Structures are given as structure tokens and as C-alpha cells.
Structure 1
Amino acid sequence: MKTLSTAVVVVGSGSAGISAAFELYQRQVPFILVERGDKVGGAGKFGAHGVFAVNSKQQQAKGVTYGYEAAFKGFTDYNHYFVNGELLARFLKLSGANIERLAAMGLPVTVEPSEQKAHLNDPLVYHKFNNFKEKMTNWDRLPAQFIAAGNQVLLETAAVDLDYDDGLKAVIVADKAGTQTRIETTKVIFADGGYCGDAQLMADKYADAAEFLNLGERKADGTGIKLAQKLGADTTHAPVLFAHGCAPSRQINPMRRDSSVETLTNLPLLWLDKTANRFVNEDVVYDFAMWANAAHNVQGKYYVVLDQKTLDHFRTQTVSLEDTFERQFCEVGQTPRTTVGPLSNIQADFDAASQTGEVVKADSLAALATKLKLPLAALQRSIQSYNQAVAQQNDTTFLKPTDELLFGVEDGPVYAIVEHCAILGTLDGVNVNRNCAPVTKAGAPIKDLYVVGNNVNGLYSDGYPSYEGIANGFAFVSGWIAATEAVKSLSQVKAEV
């Protein structure tokens, strides 16, 4: 087996891993960065548009008063005190300074109102990447800086085991051909992004896993979590899904922005669950996390139901509804559209999706019920009740805003967009202390190991909260914490020697 040696091994190059590597690079501590993919980056690079922070210099300049105290209390209350208080506190207190670190990494952000309509009046805590494409480019430039300083970046390489005997001796990695290399080291930082890429683990934890649309890092298979658990780390925690929006498929999803089907997915039209019942105020579409949670609550799948008259209206008219993802794809300072349409290609888009099963078309409600295997009586009752709410401009059950009660559903032709709970990953894994060191069930830290980002328990109780950018912000900060603690430990050992 080939042998390498270094001071620290960083596993994963998403937000947490690249942040840890950058800290080691700045402190001139030798490291090897291991990345399973053929390029650096994870969910934070390819999907995230910003980070959460309090007390940043930008916020101070704007007079933002929402700071550590309000964030700590709000987040703790939100999670009903099922949180790692010390870790949460350390993250929040470093989150503001992390904004300056991002600029130094070539990933500058600007504090601005939320990308989500539901949170436009929230405190200014969201810091958006100034330019999404430049963020991707600058992320890709970081490995060259690391290598120029004498470090190594191993792509298409994954951690597979640890040599551990009262302390870390080596990390065993394997390339895509299965060839193993022994990296002798005394510190490892697991930043490999949770376990959403492990189909069996997902099925074990989530009864509706088969319905999920995974828009996250499918290469994240829980390796860091499993290797830490193997050494006695406590992984006791309720499963926490990084649920984020909904979509029909990977072909018609919010990242592509090329289908009218996806556009109507992002509006508060009529939604019915697998029992043909309405299940939520569809205005929840404007809060990404809660929208996905609502779908998760009805076994991960629901239907957007509309008729031909509505389709034709969108084809020729401007509709006073906002596409929920419109703001996400605006660059900093860009003014979003608050209307939809006309959508000249909508019929062709729906016809094409009907061929692939992402949309189900029927000549009547009865035929739609047969195709979707829905109880016809329940479907008719739900349609009648919703049509009455539209006609009376009063939703007495779910309290949808009057200005969103625009389209009823008449009999034939009718369409159902098949919607799936979209996920960006998972947010549970290993219990850690404030230093991001994994702990046993007795609370004792396992030395030489650090677990960060989406591998960590303790920030969320049962789901991703409506604090925009919190997962990405924590990933960057936890990587920073772990690298700082690893360097501190190395220095202590050196001093003792």
C-alpha cells in the first residue's frame, strides 16, 4: 500500500471541508484534502446561494440590531431546546467574522433581504454570494493555492477506514479504481456532507425516502459518520432531513429554470395529497423549508391540480403571483419579478411532461382519479370545496390569502403535476462538543477526530428551520472551528514533546 504523511487530513471539500482546508492553509499547517468527486465542492458550492450570520461588519454598518442574543434565544426556542447549546453559541459568535473569511477565500457575500418571499420582513441575517458563477469559479481556484503551499488535493478519492489505537495513526483512502493509500496523520476532519447518498440508510430512517427528489450531494454516503461511530461516537438523534422545496423530477427542477411545469410548481395553486385531500395552505410555497416539510408530512408526494382553462390563462396572460424561486436566481441588487407569464410554451411543456409521467393529464376528474389511483369521492369533494373558496374569496379551512384564490378546477381536461419533497441532504449524524470533536454516549471526546457540517447533530431538533443560510453558514464556521482546534492540539503535542 502506498503511504503518504501529513499533519491533518480533511475529508470532503464542500463548505465545511474547504473552510477547514483554508484555515490550515492560512496557518501553514500541512494537510491533505480528500474529495470523492472529480472536482472540489459539495452542496454548499453547487446549490447554496448564501450564508446566515449575526454581528457582521456589514450588518453593523446597516444598523441591524438583531444579534447574538436574539439569534441564540430564537434558535433555541424554535428547536424546543433540543440543541447543543455550546456549539450553537460558538457558531453564532463566529458567524459574523466568517463573512470576512469568505471574502478572503474569494467567496464574497453581501447582506440583503431574504430570497424567500415569506421572510422579506425578517431581520437582515442573510448574506448572499455576490455572484453565483464567480463563486463556483473561485471555489475551483482554491486547490491550486493549497497545492502551491505544499499541500495535496486528492480528487476521486474517498476515506474508507481509520488506523486508530488510543489515537489516530492513519486514514486509509481509496481512489475510484479501489486502490488504497495509507495517509499517516494524527488529525482528521470529516466534512463529507451527511448520508443522503446512502440509499439503505435513507430508507431505514425515512419511510417516504423513495419519494424524495435528491438535489443534494449523492456522493455523501455517511462515511465520516460511520467511521466515527465505529470508534464509539454517539450518533443518537432523531433523523433530520435537509428538506428544501419540491419539484417533479431532476429534469424539471428549480435549478434548471427551463419549464413552465416547474414554474407552476412554484405557485400557490391547488395541492392534493395521495388521498385526494387538500393538506396545507399552499402559500407555504414561499417558505422553502416549510414547503418541503409539508410534503414530507404527506409521505413525500403530492399533486398540483389544475384545468385547461387555467393552463390557457397562463399561456396568454400575466398572473399576479410570484414564482417562489425568482428571488433565489437574482444576483445581489437585482430586482425580482413579482408576476408570472405569459408562458407561451406552457402547453408544449405540459404535453412533454405528460409523456414522461411528471404530469398526468385526463379528460375528466373521474379519469384523473383512475390514473392516479385516488378515491373519486374525495377528489370531487376537495375540488368542490376549493372551488367554493375561490368563488367566495374565502378559504375557511386553510386560510389562503384572498389574492391567491385565483383558479378553480373545472371538469376536463385536467392536469396533475406530480410533486416530490426535494432534499439537499441530511442534518443529523454525530454528537459533538463545542470543538466539533465527536463524543461517546458518556460525553467523552474521541481525540484526533473532528466532525463538521452536515455530519453533526445538535443544531436542529427535527427539521431544517426557516433561518435562511443556516446550514451553509454552520458548515463554513464548523470547518473553521475544527481546523482551529486541530492546530491547537498539534501545538500542544509539539510543546509537550
Structure 2
Amino acid sequence: MRNRNFVKKMLMLSFCMVLIVSMLSGCTGNGESANSSSSSFKAGTFTGEAEGKEGIIKVEVTMDEPDKIKDIKIVSQSETGGLGDSALEKMKEQILEGQTLAVDAVSGASLSSEAMLAAVEDAVTKGGGNLEVLKAGGVKKAGEGKTEKLETDVVVVGAGASGVSAAVTAADKGAKVIIIEKTGVIGGASNLSWAGKFYNSSAATSNNLKVNVEKEIADWIVNNHWRVDAAAIRQYVTKSGETYDWLAEKGYKTSFLNFFGEQLHVLPAYETREETLRKMLSESVEQHGGQVITETTAKKLITNEAGEVTGVVAEKADGTTLEISAKSVIMATGGYAANKEMVKEAFGFEGVNGGLGQNVGEGLEMAWEAGAKVPDNFGGQMLHQTLARATQGLIAQYEPFEASYPLMLTYLPNFMNVGTSGARFRDEAATLTSVAAANTSAFNGPYHMVIVSKSQLEALQTKGMNGVHAPSLPGMPPEFYAEFTDQFTLENPWANVGKVFDSMVENGDGFKGNTIEELATNAGMDVDVFVENYNSYKEATKTGVDSEFGKAAEYLEPMGEEGPYYAIIAEINNLGSVGGLLVNTKFQVLNDKRTPVKGLFAVGLESEGVLFNDTYVGNGVGIGYSFTSGRLGGESAAKSALKAN
């Protein structure tokens, strides 16, 4: 963008110089008036592109006047299905309908929306179109200045797993329910999740896998340093099994998986989830006189003189202000992980938001303003996966298996890991457990680096991961290797591995050095620190004794004696924030005195802080708790609302 602006400035400067010369001469070279300058615009179709959230967005824009866009075709994109891709279509519609580039980003998909605008702008610029005119004004929303008032028993803010579960249960208990969602998608993060944990479900027990409930609860409390709500943990552990059957009855069928002794329940096929959740809402909420309102963003909670929450103010996509009066309000707004500043301030984390872009914390802000307490353990995050920065760039150059070479190595314990200073910071066997891998890295800065030597790359090229004595396949989530399952074996040789790693460096997503000193310099490490740590680690690979971190000898892979050496930039994926509101076992939100804020409930991630201290350490608990808290919280909210009638 900076280069393009520079070019545009130079073109403008040249144009001004031509105007000055023309004014001084009083005429143009062909005898026309000096005021009738010719335009560079040519009618036709022009290609534009921009970097989106998940990759390059490419468009074709057809123009028949310098300030008129006749058509826009989205040629290629890889944005998140059901959200990012929908946003592109909505942006296209707004641009064509209003004949303007001054349009608002789609809620929850700002990065995709901004990239779409940038791609169209790129095409218009290439065609010599009038950007100044197209950016002027903007589309006036049809509902601006209008207010619509609704009344209901229960209003649910957010239609992810917890919000849908709460709305469905509340409706089934006899309450009239309105559920609002800021995006056009139902299901939220559950549409991207893999599996949930429903303790001692009927499926688990029928497969002869049963958890000792008392031991599980006791260990959970100790592992979180007692800074949790023991009653909330007991409720989840003892009640979540019922959620499995409840979901199955509603048509949202999960399949049981004995995951190395853990009770996990794999969610339905990705492409069926939103449709199933919409059907659940239709058969419960809508059939009982309620409403499902999407593309509507909550702005403020309504309170009365006594401080009771009595509704919510929201804004619809067309600009209409919506005032919903309710006996119970349920916050299911999904946390704040997409708000970088808020995450940094609360937790110090500077990695990647792997969750949804719409989760920026406005639900918490509204609840706090209405009197909710900020929990003492506020700030926890769901750090759960390691990412290689190189993957996105490589996927445009190589097949998925080859593009994932750097990523796979970040999940193996056989390579030296260092922080940004060049100091080694852990026993790399931590990479074998997702939560341990994520949190040990995040504690040491915005990213860490995986050091790979020439001899190790040669071993990978000839013998695959067996060549570096990988103890098992990298423990990546299944969706990370879904496109190359057949190649994802320990013995499969890594063809073109050197070329791929050189491309990683060329793309700016890793570093290379012919010597360890050169690698340290190129990677911005402290040379002395890295050299000392490297030599110490290399000695450990020779003796089999890691005196600093105690890494097992079988994971101390030899580094060889010559370069080049590479450093993979490895970042941590934050799947969501954990908590922000303090709730009791009825999911009533508590104030500073730890008594309920009347009329206000919270489920899902907003209330998950009662289960964890500063960091999520569950496996499948996030989605399991979302469905369970929604089911139980919806029941409580309905009971409270109907009692007030």
C-alpha cells in the first residue's frame, strides 16, 4: 500500500507540473483549452487483489464510466466459510447498489471486508477510475433515525453454541425468546471447533470409558491453584453428560471418541452445523413466538432505577435502532480475543487470534457498565495451538503438504526452540501437549523460533520424519492436515524441503544463516546469547544429557557440523478469551458484592472464568461448556422471567 501511495503521489506531481506548463503557455499541445485535460480512463474489466484474513482476494471490476462500477466478480478467495466469504458478497452488493467505496465493514468480518474494498480499489485504480468520487458520500442506511421496540421474556445476545443452546432451552421452558446476532452466521466458533467434552455421557459409558468424577473435580481445582468456583466445576462435570443426549435429541449429533483415554465428542460435519443450529432455533424459538434476528449488534444494556437489567439496545444492519424489553437478558457474546489491545493489557499476549473477528469484548463492556464485577482472575486466554507464520505464504506456492513443512516441525520435540533473544526456554517435549506448548511459548514473547540444521533437512528429505526420529506424527488438529492425509506419515520423504525453507525465508517468515552467528544476526537475536545456547544444546545432543532442561536423550537430534541453519517463526494461536463476568451456578451475573445483577445472565466464554484461573487448560471443555452453560443458563433465565410475569 505504501508503494502504491508513493506512485500515486508521483503521478499527481507530474500531472501538476504539466498543468503549470500548460497554464504558462495558455494552451495545450493540440490547440485545446488548457482546462480540457484528457482522462486516462478506459472502459473495460480490470483485475485487483488484496491480502485478506486467510489469503489473497482477487476480483474483476467492470467499469463503463470513470466513476461508475458496472459489475464486480470475485475471482478467488479463501476467507472463512460462512463468515468471511459472506462478507465479501455483502460488500460487493453494497458497492454496486450505492456506487460507492465508502461502505461499512461487515460486522465480525472487518479484515475480509477491508480487503475486499482494497481489491476493488486496486482494480479501479488500474482502470483509471475516479477514486475520489467513488469514496465520497457513502450509502445512507434505510433505517437511520428509526427506532423499533420489541418486548419478550428472554433476550439472548449472541448466537454461538452457548447462545443458541440458551435460546432453545428457554423457549422449550415456555419463555418467549428473541436472539440477536451481530453477524449473518449462526453458530459462532462452534462452526470451527473439532470436539467437545461431555463427562460420562451415555456414549462414553457405553464405550466403557468412565471418569472418576470426584478425582476429576479435585485435580481440576488443584491444577488451577484453587482460584476457581468449585461449585461451577462440579456442575459442569456432573451435568455435561446430559448435554450430549440433549444435543442428540435436538438433531445436533456428535460422535464419541476415546482420545487417548479422554472422553471427547466430535462435532457434526462442518458443513451441516449452522443449518442444524438454525433448525433448532426454528423449532423452538420461532415456533413459540420468538424471533431470530441476525446482522444486529447489541450496543447497550437497559437498566431501571433499581439497577435491574430490563433489556438491550441494538442496531440492525439497515441502521434501525432496536430496543428490546425483557425480563431476562443472557450475554453470550463470545469474549474479546479479537481485541488485540484488550488481550495485551489483560494478559500480555501478542500472538495470533485464531477465533472469530467479531469477538471484541463489547458484551463485557456493556455488562460491566450495568454493574457486573470484573473477576479477580480476569485476563485468561485459550492458548491451544502452535502456528508457523510461513504457512500462509507457502500455501500459495506449494502443495498443502510441502507448505506445511515448517508447521509440522513446530510440533516435534526433536528440534531446538529459542525465544526472540536466542535463549532456549523449555524442554521441547512440551510440544507434544498443545496447552503446554502454547503457554510455555507465550510466556516468552510474541513468538519463538524452531532451529533446523542442514543435516536435519537432509534427513527429512531422504527418510521423512523418521529421519529425525520423530516419536509420533505431529500432534496438530485434524483440520491442519486434512488436505494431505495420505502424505501425512512418518516415512514419507519431504521432497523439495530445502526449496520450501528458502521460500519461507524469502517471504520474510523465517530466517537463514550459513553460520549460527549469521543466523542469530539475521533473526534479530543476541548473537552471544544464541551462540552460547546453541553450543550448549549441541553438546547435549552429543552426550545425551540436557543439564539445563532435562530433555530426554531420544529427542536430542544431532545438528551436524555445517550450515545453512534455519529459524522457523512459531506463533501461538489464541482460540478465545476465558471469562470476564463472574456468575453463580444459575448463571446469574454477579456484581462487586458478589450478589446477582437482577435480570442479567451470562453463558459460554464470558462466564468460563469460573472454571479456570489465568489460562485455559482443558481439552474439549471450551465447546462442551458452551453448550452445557447455554442449556442450563437458558433454563435459569426462563424460570426467572416467567416468575416475573
Shift, 1:137, TM fit: 5.0
Which residue does the alignment assign to 1:4? Answer: 150
Distance (whole Å) between structure 2 residues aligned to residue 131 and residue 403 of structure 1: 38
Change over 3 Å in CA distance of 1:127–1:335 after alignment to 2: farther
Which residue does the alignment assign to 1:157? Answer: 296
Q: Secondary structure at the match of 2:465?
A: coil
Matches within 5 A, 1:31-110: 31-46=177-192, 48-110=193-255
Alignment of 1:303 with 2:449, yes or no, is yes
Identify the match of residue 325 of structure 2 among 177, 180, 184. Answer: 184
Shift, 1:176, TM fit: 4.3
Shift, 1:383, TM fit: 1.7
Q: Secondary structure at the match of 1:351?
A: helix
Change over 3 Å in CA distance of 1:307–1:180 after alignment to 2: same
Identify the match of residue 228 of structure 1 among 352, 355, 367. Answer: 367
Q: Deviations over 1:452-487 (max 9, x none)?
A: 11112211112111x311121111111111100011
AA of the residue aligned to 1:352: S
Alignment of 1:128 with 2:290, yes or no, is no
Greater CA deviation, 340-349 or 224-233? 340-349
- Answer whether contact 1:260 1:346 (CA < 8 A) is retained: yes
Change over 3 Å in CA distance of 1:383–1:410 after alignment to 2: farther
Identify the match of residue 383 of structure 2 among 237, 243, 248. Answer: 243
- Answer whether contact 1:162 1:171 (CA < 8 A) is retained: yes
Change over 3 Å in CA distance of 1:292–1:178 after alignment to 2: farther
Q: Secondary structure at the match of 1:236?
A: coil
Change over 3 Å in CA distance of 1:127–1:213 after alignment to 2: same
Q: Secondary structure at the match of 1:314?
A: helix
Q: Which has the larger radius of gyration?
A: 2
Which residue does the alignment assign to 1:458? Answer: 610
Q: Secondary structure at the match of 2:409?
A: helix
Matches within 5 A, 1:62-461: 62-114=207-259, 120=260, 123-129=261-267, 131-135=269-273, 138-139=276-277, 141-145=279-283, 149=287, 150-165=289-304, 166=306, 167-176=308-317, 178-207=319-348, 209=349, 211-238=350-377, 239-249=379-389, 251-252=391-392, 258-268=403-413, 269-320=415-466, 321=470, 322-325=473-476, 339=490, 341-408=492-559, 410-456=561-607, 457-461=609-613
- Answer whether contact 1:215 1:250 (CA < 8 A) is retained: no
Shift, 1:64, TM fit: 2.8
Shift, 1:68, TM fit: 2.3
Change over 3 Å in CA distance of 1:25–1:351 after alignment to 2: farther
Q: Secondary structure at the match of 2:149?
A: strand
Q: Secondary structure at the match of 1:44?
A: helix
Shift, 1:410, TM fit: 4.3
Shift, 1:252, TM fit: 3.9
Distance (whole Å) between structure 2 residues aligned to residue 198 and residue 216 of structure 1: 11
Change over 3 Å in CA distance of 1:144–1:128 after alignment to 2: same
Alignment of 1:488 with 2:629, yes or no, is no
Greater CA deviation, 400-409 or 426-435? 400-409
- Answer whether contact 1:241 1:425 (CA < 8 A) is retained: yes
Shift, 1:107, TM fit: 2.9
Distance (whole Å) between structure 2 residues aligned to residue 222 and residue 66 of structure 1: 35
Size of the aligned set, in residue pairs, is 481
Which residue does the alignment assign to 1:478? Answer: 629
Greater CA deviation, 189-198 or 98-107? 98-107
Change over 3 Å in CA distance of 1:140–1:340 after alignment to 2: farther
Change over 3 Å in CA distance of 1:335–1:94 after alignment to 2: farther
- Answer whether contact 2:453 2:560 (CA < 8 A) is retained: yes
Shift, 1:100, TM fit: 0.9
Q: Deviations over 1:21-73 (max 9, x none)?
A: 22234335322221122211222321x21112222112222333423212211
- Answer whether contact 2:427 2:550 (CA < 8 A) is retained: yes
- Answer whether contact 2:538 2:559 (CA < 8 A) is retained: yes
Greater CA deviation, 128-137 or 480-489? 128-137
Distance (whole Å) between structure 2 residues aligned to residue 298 and residue 172 of structure 1: 42
Distance (whole Å) between structure 1 residues aligned to residue 486 and residue 238 of structure 2: 32
Distance (whole Å) between structure 2 residues aligned to residue 140 and residue 94 of structure 1: 24
Greater CA deviation, 23-32 or 213-222? 23-32
AA of the residue aligned to 1:175: K
Distance (whole Å) between structure 2 residues aligned to residue 21 and residue 235 of structure 1: 25
Distance (whole Å) between structure 1 residues aligned to residue 548 and residue 495 of structure 2: 34
Change over 3 Å in CA distance of 1:405–1:176 after alignment to 2: farther
Shift, 1:219, TM fit: 0.9
Change over 3 Å in CA distance of 1:407–1:213 after alignment to 2: farther
Change over 3 Å in CA distance of 1:184–1:126 after alignment to 2: same
- Answer whether contact 1:437 1:450 (CA < 8 A) is retained: yes
Which residue does the alignment assign to 1:117? Answer: none
- Answer whether contact 1:323 1:339 (CA < 8 A) is retained: no
Structure with more relative contact order (C-alpha pairs < 8 Å, separation 6 or more): 1
Greater CA deviation, 54-63 or 427-436? 54-63
Which residue does the alignment assign to 2:5? Answer: none
Percent same amino acid at aligned positions? 24
Change over 3 Å in CA distance of 1:140–1:365 after alignment to 2: farther
- Answer whether contact 2:454 2:562 (CA < 8 A) is retained: no
Structure 2 gap ranges (5+): 1-146
Q: Secondary structure at the match of 1:186?
A: strand
TM-score (norm 2): 0.70
Q: Deviations over 1:159-202 (max 9, x none)?
A: 11122103333211113454421122221111111111223322
Distance (whole Å) between structure 2 residues aligned to residue 143 and residue 410 of structure 1: 63
Q: Deviations over 1:411-467 (max 9, x none)?
A: 4211111112220111020111111111112121011111111112211112111x3
Q: Secondary structure at the match of 2:566?
A: strand
Distance (whole Å) between structure 1 residues aligned to residue 486 and residue 507 of structure 2: 35
Change over 3 Å in CA distance of 1:66–1:298 after alignment to 2: same
